[in-house]
């Protein structure tokens, strides 16, 4: 059982009280508990079970403009006493920073809405096993599938965020996640792919059979890939890759990257950075949303932000510290975005595939090839050659490269947005990128 | 050494009884206890941005029956908590009828000292060095717009208690010092990053102004990148410099030679044992026994002493890296490669210090042998799909080679290749093997562990360079 609010509140107020007694002028604390239970299957048999019970506390103390923090998984009072004393001592010895402070009181969240983020249902391991049996039987139907690994996790979490300014709030969240990784083989090649579903509520989780079949189909179609020549060609990003490009955009507009001057989007507010038709929203109040929240990791209330309006950048993602540095108010994005997404484009997935006589459809990228200082992008990629709207053959061992500044202005979106992750994009076409192959 | 039972209602003998009772008919398993202390001090944007300290305590209880692993972990070292974990394990494994394997090799060798690097240097001294780093760099070059420098220090105490009460312990120090520099000139920005570290005190890497060489290297890389041209796109010859570029070895063949993927036959190498997988002259080892290196371990996280494992000898595939589970199922022995990020995670076979040994050619000979290609000196990181065998790594410092001569620097680009065939494309192996500076972290199944790499300069006949210039 995940610890209740009373237990977490008691620990939080103990820490705030002790920090004050030891000389901290302000302090904040987060206490959390997360209990998760996982069952893994491999080739239709039980492979692993894993139960984890994680407690954590992190405390930040201020003495005037000096700041330091500690964290621990040991919540016994004895240990907390030693750590808070150490934290206050370290704070005294840390140089001042004029921008250090708790968030402004008038920006703190006043109410905690019920966003439907907690499902009380408990799923026993035997039920997880039934789900995985069904999943793996669907996944291994085809003789080309030589290995299946699947997993089911139930997670229940609870937290309290409190500070010496009187803020004290938290709530429970839950998630149910199923995934399947399959390996397919033919005479020439061996390939791997996956499918995944994660929801706040158990009853919303994808059907086991569908998920398994999807994973297997996506793997089999990758068999016997070819390598193509180097050329400039339109790239179509599958939704699961397109969302990563949106995440890179979010890192580049974080107030820390902006205030440090290490982003290619510095000083671009109110300027056009995407093509006209592009809108980007960050909406924290979607019911059952995987990224939904009432406030950010400092307690600041989070409202919906239209980050990009008809191609024009409207906001950075601002926390208290960097906000003060930039002379801007926090907009509740300490810790990043909530439910971030591109609004749907105007054309269907099918029409997007048809829009060029030849294009590359990318289903997986590997490597850490996004540079937010310069905007340069270069990653390894796997996908399919598309001709006249048809998938012709699988492709691998290529790279795709470009610069985000140009890529953003050459995006066309399909109208197939779905909320599968916390960050989501419709299928995305980018023109003008370079493929390196043979 | 931590006494894990000092402040607990659970005594050591009670714990031993629960362990033996839970594991008696299992094939393997243990209680893993861990107490780690770590610190991070960060200078950024002319200020000490962050000083933080973490203390983490917990246990992981593992029971293995045939192929099935049951695991349960918690932060509370108490009678109640351990009993609950024991129940969880029994519930998963239901009826077990194995024979516990008590055999575990012994060794008295130690590859690092029992020290706590955090306590060896005061906070004020660390802050002083970070400020000196900032001043030193900013006074060296007017184009410097940002300096970030940080210290990471850790001491991890582990204790492994096996069925029957056999106990193995280790105390592991680890430090890292990083510097990142951003330059801006004529509206163009570029960064350079460098760092050092290992299982020793901060002073082993920093005293007598040694930190200046770390700063100089970060600045040098950033300056080179400021002059870089777009990288070429397509297949060409690639010369890799010695040391850190051995990320190629780690990604291209290292992961594919880990025991779990080969037992499951999901690695592109699973049916290549004893076969030629690399050019003659290529020998690759994974070594946990080098003094004070980042990837070294006295014992692995199952208690097995580490060793120097020959993976590829003169081009022939000789061994996989094994933990106890995969070794038993593949009827071989553990190579001391069973590792975990911490008590929250199960053990997996992992790399330690992965190294390609020296040959007898010079870097000059390699450059001269290339008409059109690139010379790659420094790298950001890499990734591999072990099933298809395709891997990438990202250059952060590279030059074009034209007619046997090193030309202009080129922008960072991703290089992509095929693991099982890339080492057959190695046509020259240098005589200049070098260790990396000690900053690598390897990720697998969501677990990060410290690792090292090493190699001499090598010439690869054909690799795809992911630039933008056609």
Give the model's pLDDT for residue B2: 77
Q: What is the pLDDT of residues A362-394, one digit of tens each?
A: 999 999 899 999 999 999 999 999 999 999 999
CA B77, CA B437: separation in Å to the nearest integer?
37
Answer yes or no: do A400 and B466 touch at CB < 8 A. Answer: yes
Which one of B464, B465, B469 makes the best mutation probe of the A interface by having the most chain A beta carbons within 10 Å? B464
Give the model's pLDDT for residue B135: 97
Res. B109: pLDDT tops 70: yes
Asked if residues B441 and B450 have their Cβ atoms less than 8 Å apart, the reply is: yes
What is the helix (H) or strand (E) element at residue B128, kind and residue range? Answer: helix B123-140
Nearest residue on chain A to B131, judged by CA atoms?
A95
Answer yes or no: do B466 and A374 touch at CB < 8 A. Answer: no
Answer yes or no: do A399 and B234 touch at CB < 8 A. Answer: no
Res. A426: pLDDT tops 70: yes
**Contact list, A364 vs chain B (CB under 8 Å):** 385
Q: What is the pLDDT of residues A231-269, one digit of tens each?
A: 999 999 999 999 999 999 999 999 999 999 999 999 999
Last residue of a domain, one of A220, A252, A287: A220
Q: Do A280 and A375 reside in the same domain of the chain? A: yes
Neighbours of A207 (CB within 10 A): 15
List the one residue out of A408, A367, A101 whose CA is nearest residue A252. Answer: A408
Answer yes or no: do B392 and A369 touch at CB < 8 A. Answer: yes
Give the model's pLDDT for residue B200: 96
Answer yes or no: do B266 and A183 touch at CB < 8 A. Answer: yes
**C-alpha distance from B388 to closest chain A C-alpha (Å):** 5
**C-alpha distance from B55 to closest chain A C-alpha (Å):** 5
**Contact list, A97 vs chain B (CB under 8 Å):** 47-49
Distances from the Cα of A93 to the Cαs of A28, A89, B112, B464, in angstroms? Answer: 19, 7, 31, 51
With both helix axes pointing from N to C terminus, report the angle between A77-93 and B123-140 in degrees, rounded to the nearest 10: 40
Q: Do A244 and A97 reside in the same domain of the chain? A: no
What is the helix (H) or strand (E) element at residue B92, kind and residue range? Answer: helix B79-93
Nearest residue on chain B to A71, judged by CA atoms?
B54
Give the model's pLDDT for residue B243: 96
What's the N-to-C CA distance of chain B in angstroms? Answer: 59
Which of B92, B231, B385 is opposite residue A49, by nearest beta carbon?
A: B92
Res. A147: pLDDT tops 90: yes
Q: What is the pLDDT of residues A49-106, one digit of tens each?
A: 999 999 999 999 999 999 999 999 999 898 999 999 999 999 999 999 999 999 999 9
**Average pLDDT score over residue span B21-28:** 95
Answer yes or no: do B92 and A435 touch at CB < 8 A. Answer: no
State pTM to two decimals.
0.94
Nearest residue on chain B to A190, judged by CA atoms?
B388
Report yes or no: A415 at the B interface, CB cutoff 8 Å.
Answer: no
Answer yes or no: do A93 and B417 touch at CB < 8 A. Answer: no
CA B245, CA B431: separation in Å to the nearest integer?
15
* Encoded tokens for A262: 């290490």
Q: Do A435 and A349 reside in the same domain of the chain? A: yes
CA A199, CA A181: separation in Å to the nearest integer?
19
Distances from the Cα of B108 to the Cαs of A174, A402, B304, B392, in angstroms? Answer: 47, 54, 12, 39
Residue with tokens 């995944």: A196
Asked if residues A386 and A361 have their Cβ atoms less than 8 Å apart, the reply is: yes
B181-A262-B374-B361 Cα dihedral, nearest 10 degrees: 30
**Contact list, A151 vs chain B (CB under 8 Å):** none
Q: Do A198 and A244 reside in the same domain of the chain? A: no
Answer yes or no: do A74 and B265 touch at CB < 8 A. Answer: no
Last residue of a domain, one of A196, A220, A244: A220
Answer yes or no: do B191 and A373 touch at CB < 8 A. Answer: yes
Answer yes or no: do A438 and B235 touch at CB < 8 A. Answer: yes
Q: Do A41 and A124 reside in the same domain of the chain? A: yes
Looking at the structure of chain A, the number of domains it has is 2
Number of residue pairs across A and B with CB atoms under 8 Å?
239
**Contact list, B81 vs chain A (CB under 8 Å):** 53
**Contact list, A74 vs chain B (CB under 8 Å):** 55-57, 75
CA A325, CA A256: separation in Å to the nearest integer?
9
Percentage with pLDDT > 90 across chain B: 91
CA B387, CA B395: separation in Å to the nearest integer?
24
**C-alpha distance from B445 to closest chain A C-alpha (Å):** 12
Answer yes or no: do B467 and A378 touch at CB < 8 A. Answer: yes
Which range marks the domain in which residue A437 is found? 226-438
Banded pLDDT at B182 (limits 50, 70, 90):
very high
* Average pLDDT of every residue of chain B: 95
**C-alpha distance from A379 to closest chain B C-alpha (Å):** 6
Q: Do A386 and A429 reside in the same domain of the chain? A: yes
* Encoded tokens for B344: 């929250």
Q: Do A156 and A293 reside in the same domain of the chain? A: no
A10 CB-near residues (< 8 Å, 6+ apart): none
Q: Tell me, which fold does domain B123-156+172-226 have in CATH? A: Double Stranded RNA Binding Domain (3.30.160)
Report yes or no: A234 at the B interface, CB cutoff 8 Å.
Answer: no
Distances from the Cα of A406 to the Cαs of A140, A377, B169, in angstroms? Answer: 43, 11, 55
Answer yes or no: do B383 and A368 touch at CB < 8 A. Answer: yes
Which of A262, A400, A436 is opposite residue B182, by nearest beta carbon?
A: A262
Answer yes or no: do A53 and B73 touch at CB < 8 A. Answer: yes
**Contact list, B415 vs chain A (CB under 8 Å):** 399
Which of B55, B233, B266 is opposite residue A434, by nearest beta carbon?
A: B233
**Contact list, A51 vs chain B (CB under 8 Å):** 71-73, 85, 88
Q: B239 has which bridge partners?
A: B375, B459
Answer yes or no: do B265 and A147 touch at CB < 8 A. Answer: yes
Which of A55, A374, A401 is opposite residue B233, by nearest beta carbon?
A: A401
The DSSP 8-state label assigned to residue B183 in this structure reads: E
Answer yes or no: do B69 and A47 touch at CB < 8 A. Answer: yes
* Encoded tokens for A194: 């996956």
Report yes or no: A50 at the B interface, CB cutoff 8 Å.
Answer: yes
Q: Do A216 and A338 reside in the same domain of the chain? A: no
Report yes or no: A224 at the B interface, CB cutoff 8 Å.
Answer: no
Q: A424 has which bridge partners?
A: A341
Which of A189, A364, A379 is opposite residue B414, by nearest beta carbon?
A: A379
> How many DSSP H helices and E strands does chain B contain?
10, 22
Give the model's pLDDT for residue B1: 64
Q: What is the pLDDT of residues B387-405, one digit of tens each?
A: 999 999 999 999 999 999 9
Give the model's pLDDT for residue B97: 86
Asked if residues A200 and A119 have their Cβ atoms less than 8 Å apart, the reply is: yes
Last residue of a domain, one of A172, A199, A220: A220
**Average pLDDT score over residue span A27-40:** 97
Distances from the Cα of A198 to the Cαs of A288, A329, B376, in angstroms? Answer: 11, 34, 41
Q: What is the pLDDT of residues B47-96, one digit of tens each?
A: 998 889 999 999 999 999 999 999 999 998 999 999 999 999 999 998 78
List the one residue out of A169, A127, A3, A105 whose CA is nearest residue A320. Answer: A105
**Contact list, B44 vs chain A (CB under 8 Å):** 260
Res. B250: pLDDT tops 70: yes
**C-alpha distance from B272 to closest chain A C-alpha (Å):** 14
Distances from the Cα of A356 to the Cαs of A73, A146, A233, A359, in angstroms? Answer: 55, 36, 10, 6
CA B201, CA B205: separation in Å to the nearest integer?
8
Asked if residues B390 and B359 have their Cβ atoms less than 8 Å apart, the reply is: no
Q: Do A319 and A347 reside in the same domain of the chain? A: yes
What is the CATH classification number for the domain harbouring A39? 3.30.2290.10
**Contact list, B74 vs chain A (CB under 8 Å):** 52-53
- In chain A, what are the helix, strand and coil shares in percent, each to the nearest 5? 25, 40, 35
Which of A48, A71, A231 is opposite residue B71, by nearest beta carbon?
A: A48
Asked if residues A298 and A320 have their Cβ atoms less than 8 Å apart, the reply is: yes
Report yes or no: A132 at the B interface, CB cutoff 8 Å.
Answer: no
Q: Do A10 and A62 reside in the same domain of the chain? A: yes
Alpha helices in A191-331 (DSSP H): 208-220, 239-252, 255-260, 320-326
Which of B73, B381, B470 is opposite residue A231, by nearest beta carbon?
A: B470
Residues of chain B with CATH 3.30.160: 123-156+172-226
- How many CA within 13 A on the CB side of residue B160? 22
Q: Per this entry, what is the length of chain A?
A: 438
CA-angle at A367, arms to A364 and A370, nearest 5°: 100
Distances from the Cα of B437 to the Cαs of B272, B293, B306, B308, B374, in angstroms? Answer: 32, 9, 21, 20, 23
Q: Do A200 and A243 reside in the same domain of the chain? A: no
CA A199, CA A289: separation in Å to the nearest integer?
8
**Contact list, B382 vs chain A (CB under 8 Å):** 367
Q: Do A342 and A414 reside in the same domain of the chain? A: yes
* Average pLDDT of every residue of chain A: 96
């Amino acid at each position: 059982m995940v610890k209740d609010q009373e237990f977490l509140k008691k620990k939080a107020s103990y820490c705030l009280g002790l920090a004050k007694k030891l000389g901290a002028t302000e302090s904040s604390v987060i206490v959390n508990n997360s209990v998760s239970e996982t069952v893994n299957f491999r080739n239709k048999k039980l492979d692993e079970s894993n139960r984890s019970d994680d407690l954590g506390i992190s405390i930040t103390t201020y003495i005037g403009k000096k700041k330091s923090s500690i964290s621990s998984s040991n919540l016994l009072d004895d240990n907390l006493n030693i750590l808070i004393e150490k934290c206050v001592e370290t704070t005294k010895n840390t140089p001042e920073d004029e921008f250090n402070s708790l968030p402004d009181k008038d920006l703190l969240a006043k109410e905690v809405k019920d966003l439907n983020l907690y499902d009380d249902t408990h799923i026993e391991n035997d039920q997880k096993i039934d789900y995985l049996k069904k999943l793996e039987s669907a996944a291994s139907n085809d003789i080309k599938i030589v290995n299946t690994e699947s997993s089911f996790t139930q997670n229940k979490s609870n937290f309290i965020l409190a500070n010496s300014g009187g803020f004290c709030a938290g709530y429970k969240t839950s998630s149910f996640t199923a995934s399947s990784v399959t390996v397919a083989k033919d005479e020439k090649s061996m390939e791997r792919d996956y499918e995944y579903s994660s929801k706040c509520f158990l009853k919303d989780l994808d059907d086991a059979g569908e998920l398994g079949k999807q994973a297997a189909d996506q793997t089999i179609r990758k068999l016997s890939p070819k390598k193509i020549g180097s050329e400039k060609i339109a790239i179509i990003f599958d939704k699961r890759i397109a969302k990563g490009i949106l995440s890179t955009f979010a890192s580049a507009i974080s107030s820390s990257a902006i205030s440090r001057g290490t982003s290619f989007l510095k000083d671009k507010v109110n300027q056009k950075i995407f093509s006209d038709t592009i809108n980007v929203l960050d909406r924290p109040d979607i019911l059952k949303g995987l990224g939904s929240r009432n406030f950010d990791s400092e307690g600041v209330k989070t409202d919906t932000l239209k980050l990009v309006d008809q191609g024009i950048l409207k906001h950075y993602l601002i926390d208290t510290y960097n906000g003060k540095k930039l002379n801007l108010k926090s907009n509740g994005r300490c810790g990043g975005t909530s439910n971030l997404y591109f609004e749907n484009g105007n054309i269907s997935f099918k029409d997007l595939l048809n829009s060029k006589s030849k294009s590359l459809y990318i289903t997986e990228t590997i490597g850490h090839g996004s540079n937010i200082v310069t905007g340069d992008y270069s990653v390894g990629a796997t996908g399919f050659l598309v001709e006249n709207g048809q998938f012709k053959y699988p492709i691998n061992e290529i790279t795709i490269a470009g610069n985000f500044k140009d890529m953003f202005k050459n995006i066309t979106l399909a109208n197939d947005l779905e909320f599968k992750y916390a960050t989501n994009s419709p299928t995305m076409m980018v023109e003008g990128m370079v493929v390196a192959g043979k | 050494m931590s006494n894990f039972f000092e402040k607990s209602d659970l005594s050591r003998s009670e714990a031993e009884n629960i362990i033996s009772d839970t594991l008696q008919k299992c094939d393997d398993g243990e209680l893993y206890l861990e107490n780690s202390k770590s610190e991070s001090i960060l200078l950024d944007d002319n200020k000490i941005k962050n000083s933080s300290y973490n203390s983490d305590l917990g246990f992981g209880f593992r029971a293995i029956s045939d192929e099935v692993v049951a695991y349960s972990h918690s932060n509370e070292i108490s009678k109640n908590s351990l009993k609950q974990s024991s129940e969880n394990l029994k519930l998963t494994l239901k009826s077990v009828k194995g024979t516990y394997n008590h055999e575990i090799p012994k060794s008295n060798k130690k590859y690092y000292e029992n020290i706590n690097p955090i306590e060896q240097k005061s906070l004020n001294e660390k802050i002083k060095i970070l400020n000196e780093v900032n001043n030193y760099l900013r006074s060296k070059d007017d184009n410097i717009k940002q300096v970030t420098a940080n210290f990471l220090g850790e001491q991890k105490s582990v204790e492994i208690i096996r069925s029957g009460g056999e106990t193995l312990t280790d105390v592991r120090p680890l430090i890292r010092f990083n510097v990142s520099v951003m330059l801006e000139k004529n509206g163009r920005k570029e960064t350079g990053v460098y760092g050092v570290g290992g299982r020793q005190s901060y002073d082993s890497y920093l005293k007598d102004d040694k930190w200046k060489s770390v700063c100089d290297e970060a600045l040098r890389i950033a300056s080179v990148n400021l002059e870089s041209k777009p990288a070429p796109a397509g297949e060409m010859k690639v010369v890799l410099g010695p040391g850190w570029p051995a990320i190629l070895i780690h990604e291209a063949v290292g992961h594919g030679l880990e025991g779990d993927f080969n037992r499951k036959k999901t690695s592109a190498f699973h049916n290549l044992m004893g076969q030629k997988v690399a050019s003659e002259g290529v020998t690759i080892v994974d070594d946990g026994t080098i003094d004070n290196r980042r990837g070294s371990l006295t014992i692995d996280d199952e208690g097995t002493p580490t060793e120097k494992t020959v993976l590829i000898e003169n081009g022939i595939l000789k061994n996989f890296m094994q933990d106890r589970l995969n070794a038993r199922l593949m009827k071989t022995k553990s190579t001391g490669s069973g590792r975990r990020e911490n008590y929250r995670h199960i053990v997996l076979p992992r790399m330690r210090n992965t190294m390609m040994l020296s040959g007898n050619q010079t870097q000059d000979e390699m450059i001269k042998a290339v008409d059109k290609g690139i010379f790659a000196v420094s790298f950001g990181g890499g990734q591999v799909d072990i099933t298809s065998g395709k891997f990438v790594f990202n250059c952060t410092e590279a030059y074009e080679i034209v007619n046997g001569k090193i030309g202009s620097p080129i922008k960072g680009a991703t290089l992509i290749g095929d693991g099982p065939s890339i080492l057959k494309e190695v046509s020259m192996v240098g005589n200049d093997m070098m260790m990396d500076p000690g900053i690598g972290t390897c990720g697998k199944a969501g677990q990060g562990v410290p690792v090292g790499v090493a190699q001499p300069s090598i010439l690869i006949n054909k690799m795809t360079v992911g630039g933008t210039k056609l």
